[in-house]
Structures are given as C-alpha cells and as structure tokens.
Structure 1
Amino acid sequence: MNGCPGQRGQRGDLTLPSASVRVPYVGRPDTQRWGIYAQAVAGWESILGRPAPAPTVLGAHGKPVLSPVLVEWLMGLPEGWVTDLGLPRTRALHVLGNGVVPQQAEAALRRLLCPHEWVLA
C-alpha cells in the first residue's frame, strides 16, 4: 500500500509519507478537512508554524481548482514567496512546479557532502 505508515524504501529508509506521519504535531489533525492526510498536514503545520491554507480556489469557470498558496505551503516556502508576485494562478503553479523544495535541497547537499553520515545499517 503506497504511503502506509510502515512503508520503507529499497534501503530500509522511511518514505516521505511514512516519515510525515511520525512528525509530532500540536493540536488535533483535522480529518474533516484533510481526510487521510490530516495527520501529515498537522505535522507540517507544526514544522512550518503556520496553518495549512485552503487547498482550492474558485477557477475562472467557477469550479474549484488547485490553490498556488497550498502548493507554496506544501513546499515549505515562506508565505507569499511566489504567490505575492502578482502572477496568474496557472503561471504561479508553473513557477512552483519548477521550483526547488528547500528541505529536499538541503538533504541532497548533506548527503552529497557527507556520505559517511548516510550509511544505512
């Protein structure tokens, strides 16, 4: 099952969905709003120190579409990093989609620069 709490990668390390459910969180996961992702969202809220924004906004056709503010939040970027640039929604999503998640970049650099610290037993 993809994303289950015990899922591990090829080397025995936790996958991102597995690791995210192990993050301590403050408050109660909002299962009404986030369903099966509530615990991971609550953990990320604790790490970032700010609540999750609405996942959708109304699109030009009046139907819900993905919110760039949520994507920015999911990537761990500072609030307004991309969304305060005044870009149209689709362009903001394009910029975010081509962006780098700072936490992943840091982990990659640490692994490249200090490979001895990443040896798995």
Structure 2
Amino acid sequence: MPEEDLIELKFRLYDGSDIGPFQYSPTSTIGMVKERIVAEWPKDKKIAPKSANDIKLINAGKILENSKTVGQCRIPFGELPKAVITMHVVVQQSVAKTKTEKKVDEVPRKQMCQCTIM
C-alpha cells in the first residue's frame, strides 16, 4: 500500500500521555487498532487494559465500534495533508469483574421512583 494512503493515529491516555503515532491502512478495523494499543500499553501505568474489550476509543466525541474501519472513522479536516489524528483511550473494567467485586458490608438499597410534575 502506498505510504500516502496510510492514516497516522496517536492515542491519548487518561493521564495525558500518548501512545504512538502509528500508521494504519484505511481498511484496518478498530478492533485491530485496540489490539495494538493493548500490546503497546506502557508497563508503568497503574490502570492497564487486560484485553481489547476493556478499551473504548473516542474520536470527535464518538465511541468507535470494533467492526468499523479506520477509514470510516476518520473525520475529514479539509486540506490538512499528513495530519496525525489523536484518539482518546478510555479503560473500562469488564462488567463481569465489577459484579463479583461487590462489598460484603454493602447495604442493599431500596428501589425508589421520583417524579417531578411541572
């Protein structure tokens, strides 16, 4: 693939540091990009994803779907040649893990409904 067709991405982490930039083909899926982020994740960070499913990528205020391609998620920025696109990375614990980590002394809450009529 010609170098001019590649899209350059870098990834902003929760503490303001970056991973990348890396070059991707427009046909690369977001799932493939997440796998590389997990592989390149800095070892000195306290919060780290265990798998690609623990990561959410955000670009232009939208959470990107794993099945979409990098080309589909790229927002056109007019005539900016060779611009590096920054995507934000959010690490989120899997749902199964949070359910098993309930506190023993946690008091069950009563379900309450509140309505406001104006």
TM range (shorter): under 0.3
Q: More relative contact order in 1 or in 2 (CA 8 Å, sep 6+)?
A: 2
TM-score by length of 1: 0.24
Comparing both structures, which one devotes a greater share of its residues to helix? 1
